[in-house]
A and B are shown apart, each in its own frame.
Chain A
């Protein structure tokens, strides 16, 4: 079984090679190759889930092969409960995105090749237990994203792509400095790039001298790491790349961006920043919580002002990822479990929202709730598009945290977690729930209620392909809303281990 991670990691690359070898004109073959690859990956990740041992927080399915021996760099893969969920989410969303990208007609070959490459790199980030490998995947992931936004995006795609690239890159430089610092701090020994070996507060007493002043090693490099991950999440005030990237990106890329790439940021906190620098993390938890709180409220307020429905959902991601940060900053069982669950649930519900907006965009070729000239962009959609409306309602209510759908449990757990530590912040954060409902329902009201807008008269309802790829997400959102245990059981040992670690500091 140990090779299964290798398979999941490299299968998309094999698929990519397949796509590249296919002649450019045979677009359907290219699509099929991608679909087959992503389906097998999805099946493998389900298999992984079935084989997964939920009782232990240890890394499973570990692969460790020396890579650059003189620097003790290893090809070191493994997953725990948190990664397991992210793996499944990643496999699922890429499978769905392949289907939703069926309508891409511009340079099909390059598009699907890049998409598969992106999938592999995202798996790489989640699987890597070696810092060097992690960093390589973290950076290489930018490449396909850069081109996917820059080539297949909207009108202002180049600006958005460069902004996305530079912003993320700016953060990752700080992360790299942190990695190098750790490398030196551990004496360049055999474990100096091993993420697991650094965990557990080994640097509590280390100091670092900068311009002759002595600082706590943990506190300096926690913030280096923080910057790298916070930009990815994105946490206020590092969030402004997100609306640009989302608005310009093609549908599938938005889905991947919101669905899994943002989670790489919070995953970084869970795997690297918190366990390696626990003291600094505990000391800074108030600041993280406040930043999370600002993200929640500020993101929600900004979302409400948007006339572009995709931008609205983009800002809602800022708000929802703020909840994840709140849960993480609590560092309690409920908070961190809620945060990880929210990572998964936000992945499914936001993916639904972006896919649905994409479906609508293919019909309307605009995304205005209210057009710049003040007229209605849509209106009365529920009369014309009943199937679409039903799915939209499921996605929207999952997103605003209706009990019975997935978002609620994670938000409730986050609140339970955060209340123990930051009561005042909890009291303010509930406003986020209120505004969260307001902007979504107000958007829904303006787009779906009322007389049918003549412009929307000839829209067709969702076709079979669209229904087919929305279905798994609907099922996820409903089933995990009623029975969250399949997700919580997988992650609770890993999360519990982390919480126990944090509790010592």
Chain B
């Protein structure tokens, strides 16, 4: 099969074109060109769907990919060769990712056309939304870390613009600054890692890095006292931590909800935050080689658990979702760390679906009720039935209830984590990874249902009684609580996304048969398509321009089947133990999830258990203050540390260095001038030695000119320096 650039480029280019048109002409277009933006992403979706279809239906090979290369610029001269090549690289994983990004983004765009109606920032919003999506699509299409970094940063800029879109709010400015700067901390390390790899290997293309790993080019090198593989892997992972908001760079994500809710949906679901997981997955062989997977797993576990605890006390519906995103991202990173490659990527996809839907639902609520504090909501199920349905599906998914997508992916991650922590013979301290993972899963079920119960169930606490009663029709025709308009632009995205919260889309049936069987394989399609890159495969596949699709149909089928009943990509799995870990994990996570739901039910529906806040007021306060990380970073490190350092340096520069070391010469001159004048008047005149007076007078003259700053000074100095030069060099 031959892919031309023309059949791939529109995925990236059509949103870019929409961005350019909307940026320049948006104001003149009807509806500020929101239809154009939506259409452009839909075009991306169609082209992505075609590629996905080819990969899914056409050939079932694990090493099926498209690779094309262009030279961006070339610095070669003579014997020095340096070219910067950009390329498109599509393998099974990116085919799935492209479909997800463009699909979810299309729905978010469609929803936004409804949500942003009559908003003063409507036009600007639809400038950045397509750019954001195109950057993510470009990132997924990239065949090398350098272009990945470019799109990575453009996404950072887009999120900066979207978070700060309500520019009259001081808080929006703070939040956008915080988001950009926190991710930038990771970004500079990512750039450092890219630079290091580029200069050592001569390329940053994925295929070249894989080949280099297989050929052992990383061995024996060291940077700053640690092995080169560890250094580069760590740098790249630090970048991922910033973008995917992992502990301790998690502080920006909750604030990122200052922007419009559909923007949050895009940031939290389809784009931006998944980029960090994406690069960790792409560079997984390097992470293994650099032996930092344990670090990744621990960071992921801390994030997954810590964010879940904070989410239990949030009252803002978007804040709950923001922390749930953090927590779920923690699971993805944890998955990467414990070698659950397949499931970690599946969690990216399933999470994108249900998290986009959750945010859009939250958007529906906010847009209809104009309230986002959960204690002031309640009983909305009657008024917003579609939203309720969609949100319930997603909550079931994220809570890890069987038959829903979140269960499929998260359970596998946890199963692998269990194996990793207890059975793989690792450091016993790493048992913390599965423990935090399972605890976080229980909390997830709890806080998500807490949100559902507070929002949709119980008494309606919105202030509608001022205007009388009796408006509560079946579909919420109450006027105060702006009833759910039956607007397709709102409902259709929600319903489509909620369909994809079902688990069987991702795993066939629960038994691993069924859906997969349709296409003639016993194994689930996701497991066949996605597996950790096998670096040896890339040794003899150099990065050549316009390579054809490497189609080895059927050849790898059996291999793929063996490979991954589980998707585990860690070191030498003991299949038997792994299998039992998954069984235990599945049972445990079902029990834990249901207990979480039950606890939420007891607390917020039945009221028989007192909520956390009244039980542990001290700990609740800690959680409400997000473990004081914001205070630590902003109040202590930045305000007390960095700003004072800056002030001190600036004062030193102008007040000390410039004042004394530079301008001090003028003062010295002035003293010399005075001294020589005194010498002139007192010593010379008084004593009356005329001969020396001439020399002193000359000196005097020079100093006077120096001090007065006249241009003639130039010529005198010239003569003096020339004279001294000739004198010292004896020329």
Chain A residues, Cβ within 8 Å of B174: 445
Contact with B along A463-505 (1 / 0, CB 8 A): 0000000000000000000001100110011011101100000
Contact with A along B66-100 (1 / 0, CB 8 A): 00000011111111101000000000000000000
Inter-subunit contact A240/B80 (CB<8 Å) = no
Inter-subunit contact B170/A301 (CB<8 Å) = no
Q: Which of A114-156 contact B (CB under 8 A)?
A: 139, 143, 146
| A210-B153 CB under 8 A given contacts A305-B646, A450-B168, A500-B80 | no
Chain B residues, Cβ within 8 Å of A298: 649, 653
- Write the nearest CB–CB distance from B89 to chain A, whole angstroms: 18
How far apart are the CA atoms of A210 and B21 in the complex, in Å? 68
Q: Is B714 an interface residue (CB 8 A)?
A: yes
Chain A residues, Cβ within 8 Å of B150: 403-404, 408
Inter-subunit contact A450/B191 (CB<8 Å) = no
Chain A residues, Cβ within 8 Å of B565: none
Q: Which of B337-353 contact A (CB under 8 A)?
A: none
Interface centre among B79, B154, B195 (most CB of A within 10 A): B195
Inter-subunit contact B718/A433 (CB<8 Å) = no
- Write the nearest CB–CB distance from A332 to chain B, whole angstroms: 8
Q: Is A430 an interface residue (CB 8 A)?
A: yes
Q: Is A438 an interface residue (CB 8 A)?
A: yes
- Write the nearest CB–CB distance from A442 to chain B, whole angstroms: 7
Chain A residues, Cβ within 8 Å of B668: none
- List the B residue with the shortest CB-CB distance to A418: B195
Q: Is B629 an interface residue (CB 8 A)?
A: no
Chain B residues, Cβ within 8 Å of A403: 149-151, 153-154
Inter-subunit contact A334/B149 (CB<8 Å) = no
| A450-B170 CB under 8 A given contacts A210-B729, A403-B154, A427-B224 | yes
Q: Is B215 an interface residue (CB 8 A)?
A: no
Inter-subunit contact B149/A427 (CB<8 Å) = no
How far apart are the CA atoms of A448 and B78 in the complex, in Å? 49
The A interface, classified by DSSP as helix, strand, loop or mixed, is helix
Chain B residues, Cβ within 8 Å of A404: 150, 153-154, 157
The B interface, classified by DSSP as helix, strand, loop or mixed, is helix
- List the B residue with the shortest CB-CB distance to A452: B168
How far apart are the CA atoms of A445 and B638 in the complex, in Å? 16
Q: Is A103 an interface residue (CB 8 A)?
A: no
How far apart are the CA atoms of A301 and B643 in the complex, in Å? 9
Q: Is B289 an interface residue (CB 8 A)?
A: no
Inter-subunit contact A441/B188 (CB<8 Å) = no
**Number of residues in A with C-beta < 8 Å to the partner?**
77
Q: Is A380 an interface residue (CB 8 A)?
A: yes
Inter-subunit contact A500/B184 (CB<8 Å) = no
Inter-subunit contact A496/B78 (CB<8 Å) = yes
Inter-subunit contact B77/A497 (CB<8 Å) = yes
- List the A residue with the shortest CB-CB distance to B651: A305
Contact with A along B688-731 (1 / 0, CB 8 A): 00000000000000000000010101100110011001001111
How far apart are the CA atoms of A404 and B74 in the complex, in Å? 17
Contact with A along B43-77 (1 / 0, CB 8 A): 00000000000000000000000000000111111
Q: Is B436 an interface residue (CB 8 A)?
A: no
- Of the stretches A9-17, A41-49, A63-71, A172-180, the one at the interface is A172-180
Interface centre among A209, A448, A492 (most CB of B within 10 A): A492
How far apart are the CA atoms of A438 and B180 in the complex, in Å? 9
Chain B residues, Cβ within 8 Å of A257: none
How far apart are the CA atoms of A139 and B73 in the complex, in Å? 38
Contact with B along A246-288 (1 / 0, CB 8 A): 0000000000000000000000000000000000000000000
How far apart are the CA atoms of A293 and B450 in the complex, in Å? 53
Q: Is A199 an interface residue (CB 8 A)?
A: no
- Of the stretches A22-30, A162-170, A354-362, A454-462, the one at the interface is A162-170
Inter-subunit contact B75/A434 (CB<8 Å) = no
How far apart are the CA atoms of A449 and B167 in the complex, in Å? 5
Q: Is A426 an interface residue (CB 8 A)?
A: yes
How far apart are the CA atoms of A451 and B189 in the complex, in Å? 35
Q: Is B192 an interface residue (CB 8 A)?
A: yes
Inter-subunit contact A208/B729 (CB<8 Å) = yes
- Write the nearest CB–CB distance from A328 to chain B, whole angstroms: 15
- List the B residue with the shortest CB-CB distance to A300: B646
Inter-subunit contact B657/A240 (CB<8 Å) = yes
Select which of B77, B188, B714 is within 8 A of A433 by beta carbon: B188
Chain B residues, Cβ within 8 Å of A57: 77
Inter-subunit contact B77/A306 (CB<8 Å) = no
Inter-subunit contact A304/B642 (CB<8 Å) = yes
Inter-subunit contact B191/A176 (CB<8 Å) = no
Chain B residues, Cβ within 8 Å of A209: 729-730
Q: Is A402 an interface residue (CB 8 A)?
A: yes
Chain B residues, Cβ within 8 Å of A441: 160, 177, 180-181
Q: Is B584 an interface residue (CB 8 A)?
A: no
Q: Is A383 an interface residue (CB 8 A)?
A: yes
- Write the nearest CB–CB distance from B158 to chain A, whole angstroms: 11
Inter-subunit contact A484/B73 (CB<8 Å) = yes
Inter-subunit contact A431/B196 (CB<8 Å) = no
Chain B residues, Cβ within 8 Å of A412: 146, 191, 195
Inter-subunit contact B718/A499 (CB<8 Å) = no
Q: Is A237 an interface residue (CB 8 A)?
A: yes
How far apart are the CA atoms of A383 and B170 in the complex, in Å? 12
Inter-subunit contact B168/A492 (CB<8 Å) = no
Select which of A173, A302, A304, A424 is within 8 A of B643 by beta carbon: A304
- Provide a sorted-by-A list of 8 A–B residue pairs whose CB atoms are within 8 angstroms: A211-B728, A333-B77, A419-B195, A423-B196, A430-B191, A441-B160, A450-B167, A485-B72
Return the 4 tightest CB-CB contacts between A and B, nearest first: A496-B77, A449-B173, A305-B650, A305-B646
Known A-B contacts: A166-B713, A402-B154. Give 9 more (CB < 8 A): A143-B711, A165-B711, A302-B649, A333-B82, A383-B168, A397-B157, A419-B199, A485-B73, A492-B74
